[in-house]
Amino acid sequence: MKETSHLLCQAHKEKRKYLLETEAKTICMEYGIPVTKFKLAKNEAEAIKFAEEIGYPVVLKIVSPDIIHKSDVGGVIVNLKDANAVRNAYKQILKNVRRHKAKAKIVGMLVQEMAPFSTEVIVGAIKDPQFGPALMFGLGGIFVEVLKDVTFRIAPITEDEAREMITEVKAYPLLKGYRNMPPADIDAIVQILLNTSRLVMDYQEIKELDLNPIMVYEKGAKTVDARIILE
């Protein structure tokens, strides 16, 4: 795919192993993986202009080739409801980042549509030296981090395998709806798994891919954060 090849080639030339969120999400879009709307701002005025175009509330995130885990350095502020909030968050994020990582090269600030909270899932891919790319699926937050409730398949996967991955995690009943959470759009997750499988099969230089989290709704889903690491 044209855009994906171009971005991977560019990262390779610049000897970067880690793609920026803007790059990873552009690749996702080319592969039909839904992501939150975003624009890269270079200054406060631009951030406000983009926030108005996208529509409040928005999220602001640091974009830096030196920062992989953005919230660890205070690089993410969510739920900004007006221009003033965007201006303050812009200043605050720069301050946080300078304090944690004074030398980080800053590309700009990502202004992003705020995805309403919903059931969070994770889709990942990791390249095994022997078996090649494998896909991972799990529910977000404690399910992955504490309970390690995840499942794997060697890529490429079929639609049936994608469905199996979703139903075999222990937390699966939560996707069928509980208390005030509506049932999640399983077909949307299946499509994301299949498209991710295509992506990692097409580009074997991808060592790790992380869509974490993806908010899943009654209809559709939205990837809120995307990370791609190259060999």
Running DSSP on this structure, what letter comes out for residue 18? Answer: B
Nearest partner of 86 among 55, 64, 117, 116, judged by Cα: 55
| Residue 151 interacting entry, from ligand ADP, Mg ion, none, C-beta within 5 to 8 Å by type | none
23 binds ligand ADP (CB under 6 A): no
| 195 interacts with, out of ligand ADP, Mg ion, none, CB within 5 to 8 A per kind | none
CB of 24 to ligand ADP, least distance (A): 11
Shortest distance, position 226 Cβ to ligand ADP, whole Å:
8
- The verdict on 225 binding Mg ion (CB under 5 A) reads yes
Q: Which residues, in sequence order, are CB contacts of 84 under 8 Å at separation 6+?
A: none
**Spatial contact of 55 and 82, defined as CB atoms under 8 Å apart:** no
147 binds, among ligand ADP, Mg ion, none (CB under 5 to 8 A by kind): none
Minimum separation from the CB atom of position 156 to ligand ADP (A): 27
Comparing CB distances to Mg ion, the nearer of 83 and 107 is: 107
Tell me which stretch binds Mg ion (CB under 5 A): 154-162, 171-179, 197-205, 219-227.
219-227
d(CA 122, CA 92): 29
* SS3 state at 224: coil
Q: Which of residues 83-142 bind ligand ADP (CB under 6 A)?
A: 112-115
Q: What is the DSSP string of 172-218?
A: HHHHT-BTTBPPP-HHHHHHHHHHHHHHHHH-TTEEEEEEEEEEE-S
